[in-house]
Amino acid sequence: MKILILVFLVGIYQVTAETHSLKYFVTESSQVPDFPEFVVVGMVDDVQIVHYDGNTTEAVPKQDWMKEVIDDDPEYFKRSTNIFIKEQQTFKDNIEVLKQRFNQTGDVHIYQVMYGCEWDDETDKVNGYRQYGYDGEDFIALDLKTETWIAAEPQAVFTKQKWDNDKARTAYLKYYHTQICPEWLKKYVNYGRSSLMRKDLPSVSLLQKTSSSPVTCHATGFYPDRADLFWRKDGEELYEDVDRGKILPNHDGTFQMSVDLKISSIAPEDWKKYDCVFQLSGVKDDIITKLDKSVIRTNEGSSGFRVAAVVVGLLVLIAGITAAVKYADISGRKYKSVSPASSTSDTSTSSAEDLDPKKKISGEQEKMLKN
């Protein structure tokens, strides 16, 4: 039995300049079942490079190319482990302080910090950020331009006043985010260039359950996940009668996504006006798939499509589970409008950011101090 899936590939494409990012997510949780109380995840271009949790108490590389760091700096992960162990107690103290400030006792609570930097490899422009959150809401963030802290909650005002008065710490954080962090980001991009800079184009196919069902434009096998997939009519993107799916990971490290188009109100003679467009960050040419009945794989009269549909369905299910596990590994909970941060006690300052081998950074500076 043959399974026919039409594939549209762009053979020649051009890579453009990109903005790279280095981010660290530090999470302390309280009473979250089957999840470590303390987790640190480092990511380059949204690819996980290092992981630490309070159960294993060991910083470990998550990409093969990160082992090159060990070749150049054998003490790298040992030093990182020691930093995270110190921060673990700091974060534990902080979440207790926060619970008191919000007049809370037990239940599930999440204290989280995200910090890091971005670097444009064409203009060499850098940008840093550091932000703290509590129970899924913003708590306090650093404004690098004014070198002051922004309190997002009344309970954060005390911390803001304390940190605003610590000029030396703020000056160091500005130096870290604008100098140290970008230097390390450039090193990581260089170490993982063959992996991080690769561009994998997808196969794109049109699927349909029945002749009256929406037509699904499905793209799979692309990398990185900075991509878009949408329907157009007469060259203009459609926002009505479409249902966009999320980007999901495949088992091989690539990604997939789909977007549905309702065709019940489209006259047969107008089908030629519609097409599905796939765009990948850093790639100049789009992959365009025309809405054409002759290329649609449908359930009606095709056992082959049934098998294909089941395979796609299973891939989506598996990818969804993988994404959920990966997301939990990063934060354990939804965290909105994050930016960056590090250790956290009254607001701490250390973490994976302290991986500069020439500079030893302690993580004790961010205690939240009780009133």
Question: What's the pLDDT tens digit per position in 156-207?
Answer: 999 999 999 999 999 999 999 999 999 999 999 999 998 888 899 999 999 9
Q: Do domains 19-195+334-354 and 203-329 have the same CATH topology?
A: no
Domain 19-195+334-354: which CATH number of 3.40.50.1000, 3.20.20.70, 3.30.500.10, 3.30.930.10: 3.30.500.10
| Cα radius of gyration (the chain) | 24
> How many other C-beta atoms can be found within 10 angstroms of the C-beta atom of residue 317?
11
pTM of the model: 0.66
Q: Which two tokens stand for residue 310?
A: 């089941």
The side-by-side arrangement of strands in the sheet containing 19-30 is: 60-61, 47-53, 38-44, 19-30, 109-120, 126-134, 137-143, 148-151
CA atoms within a 13 Å half-sphere pointing along the CA-CB vector of 76: 16
* The CATH number of the domain covering residues in 203-329: 2.60.40.10
Q: Which two tokens stand for residue 89?
A: 């107690």
Phi-psi region of 273 (alpha: psi -120 to 50; beta: other; left: phi over 0): alpha
- Kindly give, in sequence order, each residue whose CB lies less than 8 Å from that of residue 3, ignoring residues fewer than 6 positions away: 304, 305, 307, 308, 311
Q: Which two tokens stand for residue 334?
A: 């939804």
Phi-psi region of 60 (alpha: psi -120 to 50; beta: other; left: phi over 0): beta
Backbone angles phi, psi at 242, to 5 degrees: -130, 150
Lowest mean per-residue pLDDT among 124-133, 171-180, 332-341: 332-341
Domains of the chain: which residue ranges? 19-195+334-354, 203-329
Q: Which amino acid is at 158?
A: F
Give 79-121 pLDDT, tens digit per residue: 999 999 999 999 999 999 999 999 998 789 999 999 999 999 8
Q: Which two tokens stand for residue 255?
A: 């990604």
Q: In a 3-state reduction of DSSP, which class is residue 321?
A: helix
